[in-house]
Structure 1
Amino acid sequence: MRIDLADVPALERGVSLLGSGGGGDTVTAAALLRRWLADAAGGAVRLTAARDLPPGTRVVPLGLVGATAVFTEKLPGGGEFRAAVAAIERWTGERADALMSIEVGGLNGVLPLAAAADLRLSYVDADLSGRGLPRLDQLSVAAAGRGLAPVALAEPGGQVLVLADGTPAEIERTVRSFLTGSGGWAVLALAPILAGDLPGCSVLGTTSGALDLGRRVLAAGESPGADRLAAATGGRVLTLGRVLEVAHRMGPGEHGRPGFGRGSVTVTDHATRSLLRLEMENEYLLALRDGEVVASTPDVLAVLDRRTCVPISTEVLRHGTEVAVLQLPAAGFWTDPRHAPALRPRAYGIDSDPVLLR
């Protein structure tokens, strides 16, 4: 399968939905992908299923980490991707045969494709999240017990950092500290993963799935009814209504460090007048209808503009906006009891059991 310029609008819509209100600016990322595809050999990136690769193929997970708001002000020149991949190759002594994303939800569902076009490498139809995630220690490789180290970081000012060792939580803290003093964002590369190992530590089929999801939502047109929207997404419409209130606060941190921003959104349902409240961090995490939990992470909760069906991030949702709130099923990796604790509500400090579609 090839991804070319004609596929970018559907891909951008799909990954923005899977961002669950987080993941960064997909519009800017899609514009950068168009630029790189225009310069790529054949104008496309080859997308390959993990099962179609020789088991010994070395696949490097890649993505952008840090303050995605800063990313739109300080765009990558492309050298960051090459520097991060080259650093992890030097440290491990293993050449990258292919790339994959660390996170399909949000801009990381798009940018690593640009890196593959630039580096002339194939792209694997898998990622380490299956949705949008806030922390590196929640990636599927960490949930599967493989760890994260070594990690290479390349920031736009030219600095390159390799973290040779550390637990996933330690890697997460160190990366955030580095980003604070280095411009806000960096490209991260993990050590190569053999293609034969991907089924046990990654979420498969996510890029093709995001592309298909985006095509179906775009085909639904503007202002679709609840039934049509649910059919197009394979999910459930929790409410169609108007945002009554948006509240933001600082979330809990660790060891004296501030946490991610927290908040809540209240939506009045037009048909029933019930109140749906969404608890959010970087992503939408939990939905309560009139005080009863009706949906939660690891399922994807998305808020869409009622007319255009464009997903609205947690950062820009405002009072008075007409919205549709969706619940999309979690990837099977995250419903596996061995991996589920990493994304359950309690992993975010919310005292609730998961409430899922399946």
Structure 2
Amino acid sequence: MSTVLTPDDVGHLRTGAHFLACAIDPTAIHVYAGMIQETMQTRSVELITVDELAPEDLVVSVGMVTQGLFISDMPPVGDEFTGCIEAIETRLGRRVRAIYSLAAANINGIIPLMVGLQSSLPVIDSDPMGRVFPLISQTTLNIGGVAIAPIALMGATGERAVVEAGDPQRAETLVRALVTELGGWAATVMYPCSARQLAEHGVHGSISRMIRIGQILEAETSAESKFLSLSELLGVTRIARGRVSHIEGLSRPTDLGLPAQPSSVTLEDETTGQIIRMEIQNEILLVLVDGAVAAAVPDMVTLLNSEHGSVANLDDLRVGNVVDVLKLSAAPQWYSEAGLDLAEPAAFGIPLQHPRRHHG
């Protein structure tokens, strides 16, 4: 069922995208949401399911890849994504029929709407992560053997590149190097595939899910009632309600060229006195309760302000704050052997296997 999205939907989507990646600086999401709502006064964007396309239709992912530069420091001028789509069409000799998001959270959760408005292409309610991961190789399409290349990039400098790389990890290395050269961020179009491949290997309902999360979080209800609605919608569980007791930047180096400032946050559970420790690299990768693993990537962990039920940004956490530490499961593909190889803590340099490795 295709839907024409409204400015209200964009506001909810912004909040939902922030909820699923509480670690980020939300400025860029707000800037983008404002631009999209403004553009919607004269143009419309259509949200479709992947089943509405012909099986062999060409679809591509759109997303920002950043390397150390906040997008809000040097915003895109507008033609970056359409330029990348044209580059892929020229390279493949085929028209792109629809676009989908590279990730279902953070800035990339909302970018397809802007690109849909600019290109008049419909936006598919699917993505290849079902959350956000730092590496472009960490996708369910990669798990399913769908090629990442050709990849088109255009950055802050206005220069454009097309990368051909068979190996997703190698593509990751080349794209990161180019993004640095292109000024710190790049609009990218990658994973060109058929609608059938996306239907088979993607995560579905991602944009409508973020909109629904936003509706829940923006409702005039109590924090507890928001939590119950999120539990019903997403199977969210509460690991703890904790008071922040310690925040530190870790000395542990990040390898693999992971874009991250590792840090950790210690909290004390208000009721039980248990000690909660969160390990962070862009996202919350690991939560330990009295030393036992309570959540580990690819599980999603997010924080809500325990008083208002609004998203608590990691950047804004201060000693003494009380937050709810919430956990939700990632898409099922991530718990397969191949999925855990790509996205369990060990993939982020934390020498730990995901608990599901041992329990089938």
Q: Do these two structures clear the TM 0.5 threshold for a shared fold by scoring above it?
A: yes
**1:303–1:324 Cα contact (<8 Å) kept:** yes
Q: Which has the higher mean CA deviation after the structures are superposed, 81-90 or 26-35?
A: 26-35
Instruction: Give how far 1:288 is off.
Output: 0.4
1:28 pairs with one of 31, 41, 56: 31
Amino acid at match of 1:296: A
Query: In structure 2, the residue corresponding to 1:224 is in which secondary structure?
Result: helix
Q: TM-score, normalised by structure 1?
A: 0.90
Query: In structure 2, the residue corresponding to 1:318 is in which secondary structure?
Result: coil
**1:88–1:152 Cα contact (<8 Å) kept:** yes
Instruction: Give how far 1:47 is off.
Output: 0.9
Amino acid at match of 1:309: G
Instruction: Give how far 1:97 is off.
Output: 0.8
**1:20–1:132 Cα contact (<8 Å) kept:** no
Instruction: Give how far 1:114 is off.
Output: 0.8
**2:146–2:191 Cα contact (<8 Å) kept:** no
Q: Using the alignment, how far apart are the partners of 2:230 and 2:131 within structure 1?
A: 19
Instruction: Give how far 1:123 is off.
Output: 0.7
Instruction: Give how far 1:67 is off.
Output: 3.9
> Structure 1 pair 69/268, CA: closer, same or farther in 2 (3 Å)?
farther
Instruction: Give how far 1:21 is off.
Output: 2.5
Query: In structure 1, the residue corresponding to 2:70 is in which secondary structure?
Result: helix
Query: In structure 2, the residue corresponding to 1:215 is in which secondary structure?
Result: helix
**1:345–1:354 Cα contact (<8 Å) kept:** yes
Q: How does 1:32-181 map to 2 (within 5 A)?
A: 32-40=35-43, 44-67=44-67, 70-181=70-181
> Structure 1 pair 74/150, CA: closer, same or farther in 2 (3 Å)?
same
**1:46–1:122 Cα contact (<8 Å) kept:** yes
CA root-mean-square deviation: 2.5
Structure 1 stretches of 4+ with a deviation exceeding 6 A read: none
Q: Using the alignment, how far apart are the partners of 2:68 and 2:31 within structure 1?
A: 11
Q: Which residue of 2 aligns with 1:14?
A: 16
Q: Which has the higher mean CA deviation after the structures are superposed, 283-292 or 341-350?
A: 341-350
**1:94–1:192 Cα contact (<8 Å) kept:** no
Q: How does 1:134-283 map to 2 (within 5 A)?
A: 134-219=134-219, 221-224=221-224, 230-231=231-232, 233-249=234-250, 252-254=253-255, 260-283=260-283
Amino acid at match of 1:241: G
Give the unaligned 5+ runs of structure 1.
none
Q: Using the alignment, how far apart are the partners of 1:84 and 1:20 within structure 2?
A: 29
Give the unaligned 5+ runs of structure 2.
none
Q: Percent same amino acid among aligned pairs?
A: 28
Deviations 1:107-126 (A, max 9, x none): 10001111101111101111
Q: Using the alignment, how far apart are the partners of 1:339 and 1:253 within structure 2?
A: 21
> Structure 1 pair 324/191, CA: closer, same or farther in 2 (3 Å)?
closer
Query: In structure 1, the residue corresponding to 2:5 is in which secondary structure?
Result: strand
